[in-house]
Amino acid sequence: MRKVFAALLPAVVLISGSFTTIKPKPVKAKAQRPNIVVILADDLGFSDIGCYGGEIHTPNIDYLAKNGLRYRQFYNTSRCCPSRASLLTGLYNHRAGIGEMTDAEDAPGYKGHLAENTVTLAEVLKSAGYQTGMVGKWHVSNTTVQSTPQTQQAWLNHQATYGDYSPLAQYPTNRGFDKYYGNIWGVVDFFDPFSLVNGTKPVTEVPKGYYHTDAINDTASAYIKGFAKAKQPFFLYVAHTAPHWPLMALPQDIEKYKDTYKVGWDKIREARYKRMVAMGLIDPKTTKLSPRWKPELTWDANPDKEWDARAMAVHAAMIDRMDQGIGRIMATLKATGQLDNTIIVFLSDNGASPENCTAYGPGFDRPDQTRDGRKIVYDMNKKVLPGDELSYASIGPRWANVANTPYQFAKADSYEGGVHTPMIAFWPKGITANKGGYSNQLGHVMDFMSTFVQLAGAKYPTTYNGRGISATDGISLAPSFSGGNKGHNALFNEHFGARYARVDNWKAVAKGNEKEWHLYDLATDRTELNDLAANNPGKVKELDSLWNNWAKANNVFPKPKKGK
């Protein structure tokens, strides 16, 4: 596998296995200001990784947690591109221009790209003297779509070329990143990704044996080796596509989990919950295990047990492979003398996805053939086992519910299962709080801007390249590194009508098709089981008013006109 990247990448440290077994000769670090590495997983469930209760083998991510901090209440915006927009800009996502997806729409909060009033982490840190690089999924620029379904499909299949995947002004290298290798769009064939570019140049073919998760991690390692030669610190954004659908993994990784999920949804979910309680991540008095999604179908009565167990095995394999590469990134940091003064944060862009991507069928961002003409199967009958390049599938709502243990609901919802992410901060030189412990600071992806500005000695601008820049909404996480817990007292969200308002421990929340709010006291009910709205109309009215004020101030309204 490693040999296939020689044609694409500079020399890279390629060390396999758990990080804790690696003992390269240390080299004295040069930089006083910290390097910064942000690792973002895609559609990872709250309890998927080992240090958050999962059975999936993630020793390198677990190492970060054991030697860093785990956050108990950290939030994203419930969807891929909105979370990325917020993370990159320090703003709520609508104010950053991406309220829904990447279509260019006719309202300020729905431009589908990072708006003119934004400045990115890379732009701010580069202005402060940092080297900047990004690998992986961009997904915060307008998607260029061909004029007919036929030409779009040929493009997706790598059987025709039509130029740039988005306006070049919106590419990462035009938003502060010195280097970029990755996919401009959101969805990829992991063995032959669409919208792959190096800088701004399309990568028109990949070598035999290519796997995108490995390419992302090994390019990150190569960038680090280059950055370490300079005196300036660096900022590296590692945006994985795993474990987002389609379910595609390497056979040797799937093999590890071939029997793991044959016990079914309930047993895996209950085992995760017990581990979370045992490790002190959650308090069973305030965080009950929510009922399983649609429990009327039991595992024993499930006619698709073989397919479903395989699907979750592939999901696990994709996470396992991501963790292996994160170990190589950490090994490179250590070998180059950078590890001790590097901040690494790891999190997910939203909860695990309940989508049935098979039902979407080919089109827009989904191929129907490989580049050499082999048919890709969208099998709604669950007869074709997932995992290779020729099947197109996802884990679906029941396994997503397991992945998001102990919470209800999933990606795109404003319930905790959609917006509550695992988050780990690691910084050997800078974290003095109880390492291996937990932070209760109420945090959000937009907080990275304030955090890194503070720790890098940078300045968040009021203007940038002649454009007025909106003030950041984030709060620095730096106090939590020394044991502080002062974070947000209020957070809000909206995505396709799904919404929440959280003030202290009161949370009003609604699904996208609901007009009325539900109300929960998260101090005693973190899994949102006991709706208090009927008995607390005054609190509902208060939170509704705060949410509407926030929505008006942050470009949630006006909504774009549909069907023009």
Catalytic residue ranges: 80, 139
Q: How far apart are CA 443 and CA 73, in angstroms?
A: 7
∠ at Cα 406 (404, 412), nearest 5°?
40
Residue pair 122/448 in contact (Cβ under 8 Å)? The answer is no
- Identity of the residue numbered 355: E
How many Cα neighbours within 13 Å face the side chain of 335? 19
User: How many residues does the structure list for the chain?
Assistant: 564
Q: How far apart are CA 110 and CA 538, in angstroms?
A: 32
Tokens of 139: 């997904």
* Bond from prior residue into 167 cis (ω within 30 degrees of 0): no
Tokens of 48: 């998927």
In the 8-state DSSP scheme, what is residue 341?
G
Q: Which residues pair with 464 in a beta bridge?
A: 467
DSSP 444-509: ETTHHHHHHHHHHT----SEETTEE-PPP----SGGGGGT-----SEEEEEETTEEEEEETTEEEE
Q: How far apart are CA 16 and CA 376, in angstroms?
A: 32
Residue pair 25/337 in contact (Cβ under 8 Å)? The answer is no
DSSP SS3 for 252:
helix
Distances, alpha carbon 254 to alpha carbons 325, 388, 520, in Å: 16, 10, 39
Q: How far apart are CA 125 and CA 461, in angstroms?
A: 11
HEC string of 61-118 equals HHHHHHCCEEECCEECCCCHHHHHHHHHHCCCCCCCCECCCCCCCCCCCECCCCCCCC
Residue pair 402/229 in contact (Cβ under 8 Å)? The answer is no
Residue pair 272/281 in contact (Cβ under 8 Å)? The answer is no
Binning the chain into helix, strand and coil, the percentages to the nearest 5 are 30, 15, 55
Residue 300 neighbours by CB under 8 Å, 6+ apart:
264
Q: How far apart are CA 498 and CA 509, in angstroms?
A: 8
Tokens of 258: 């071939």
Strands 423-426 and 69-71 come out as antiparallel
Residue pair 216/135 in contact (Cβ under 8 Å)? The answer is yes
DSSP SS3 for 221:
helix
